[in-house]
A and B are shown apart, each in its own frame.
Chain A
Amino acid sequence: AQSVTQLGSHVSVSEGALVLLRCNYSSSVPPYLFWYVQYPNQGLQLLLKYTTGATLVKGINGFEAEFKKSETSFHLTKPSAHMSDAAEYFCAVRGGGADGLTFGKGTHLIIQP
């Protein structure tokens, strides 16, 4: 069975500062990993995903994430935060023959001006 842990239900950074959202997963087989973003009153939008190959994955809006198998992590980063990045971010895993995604609890990103 898969599980996802997102450290920090709320993360606050200043505009222009580094964004780091943490995600650790548990999976019995090599996983597929996803980051989704949810803006207020909207659905979940894919930011980026790791399937196979290069462990550093680039996504939309300047975000990237690195798959580290030894640390079972898939942390999301962005070098310089923008006010428009304020949203809820969800890490998710799919693997082991399961069809559905297993989500973390989400991290609410707050951008301070």
Chain B
Amino acid sequence: EPEVTQTPSHQVTQMGQEVILRCVPISNHLYFYWYRQILGQKVEFLVSFYNNEISEKSEIFDDQFSVERPDGSNFTLKIRSTKLEDSAMYFCASRAYSGGGDTQYFGPGTRLTVL
């Protein structure tokens, strides 16, 4: 069964450094997402991406964050200058269709630790 993959599984970085988290969505999917989960808290929506542009973003997704689909398979989340509070599990998700009830399929996550 096709699945969303994410690399790396764990990333450790120093405060102020740039990080890029990578995701390979399911191949025929058109809509892509990033979520994060700070330890002990709920999963929070960051951004959605469709047709090579951001379609929706939350208040969390400020100027420090950016997303890109550099080729036909990868979807990346860049954090320009990491802060301690960016430490979290970051999940990528994708879905195929435009229907509101269509399923978002999640990857296994990247645990980001900012020191």
Contact = CB atoms under 8 A, between A and B. Distances in A.
A42 B105 CA distance: 12
Given A99-B48, A100-B58, A103-B42, A43 B100 contact: no
A50 B105 CA distance: 16
Contact of B101 (A32, A36, A104): A32
Interface string B7-46: 0000000000000000000000001010100000111111
* B interface residue count range (under 10 / 10 to 19 / 20 to 34 / 35 or more): 20 to 34
* Interface residue SS majority, chain B: strand
Contact of B106 (A36, A94, A95, A104): A36
Given A51-B100, A99-B31, A99-B55, A44 B48 contact: no
Interface of B: 4, 31, 33, 35, 41-48, 55-56, 58, 91, 93, 99-101, 103-109
Interface of A: 32, 34, 36, 41-46, 49-52, 90, 92, 94-95, 98-106
